[in-house]
Chain A
């Protein structure tokens, strides 16, 4: 397997969607190719960072709704009745 193919298979590897045969070939390539291994780790890490930064549900729950938006929603509901 070449690095180019390895790149193409990364998403299926991360999602556990590779066949056993391709997975073995993929992992053999990783064992011999430090740059691809580093790339895979950074790919996984960037997903994790994205989730942590963009999706902090605790702070979302605490954040207040703009009062103007609340008023708009309540008014729109009244109008729709």
Chain B
């Protein structure tokens, strides 16, 4: 059982045991009304139906792999995390509560597995994010004046090069910053849940998130101003 500073987890946040096991006992997904289709599959899984497990992997695997890839840019790491997550889910399926949605439960398990992988892997030398922090003059004015972006949201997301810049930019963020950005902005966890998952303070989550968002904005700037081609 994981013990995190601050006591029990709240909301949908799960945790990674300090011993390195994925702890799914504390995962209590937010309940919703779309669990009807899960009931049959869960019943078969709990009865030990082999085909049900394969169905689970085929149906939920793609989304879980996408989540793992966002947290772990190395494909092998992402696939390993998905494998670990499915094995954890299989071991814990008897504890699955029907009020929960299977996809939400699996999502939290794969997030846990990916974060554990992130902690275990040897850390690469990271580029300091100060490079992306805006410079200011002594009097508090910005050294470079930001300008209004010329490119619209719709144009940006439709542009292949811009999409690639975003994906590459997120992947290239230092691990600590990428994890916060992915959990908070992409996976929908609250600041408190993100802090619990990463075992850092709420204030630290905000600091990293602010810098990561700013880094992403800086990378997008030339494309959104039409300066890049």
Contacts and interface: CB of A to CB of B under 8 A. Distances in A.
A38 B157 contact: no
Interface stretch (B3-11, B123-131, B212-220): B212-220
Interface of A: 2-5, 7, 10-12, 15, 35-36, 38-39, 41-43, 45-55, 57, 60-66, 69-70, 72-74, 76-77, 80
Given A76-B87, A77-B86, A60 B66 contact: yes
B38 interface: no
B167 A54 contact: yes
Nearest to B63: A60
A55 B87 CA distance: 25
B62 A2 contact: no
B186 A54 contact: yes
Nearest to B187: A55
Contacts of A41: 148-149
18 contacts: A3-B142, A4-B142, A15-B206, A35-B147, A38-B148, A41-B148, A46-B216, A49-B220, A50-B166, A51-B185, A55-B186, A60-B63, A61-B62, A65-B62, A65-B65, A69-B65, A69-B79, A70-B57
Please give me the 6 A-B residue pairs with the lowest Cβ-Cβ distance, nearest first. Answer: A2-B140, A65-B61, A60-B66, A39-B146, A46-B217, A11-B210
A12 B207 CA distance: 10
A49 B156 contact: yes
Given A7-B134, A60-B62, A63-B62, A51 B83 contact: no
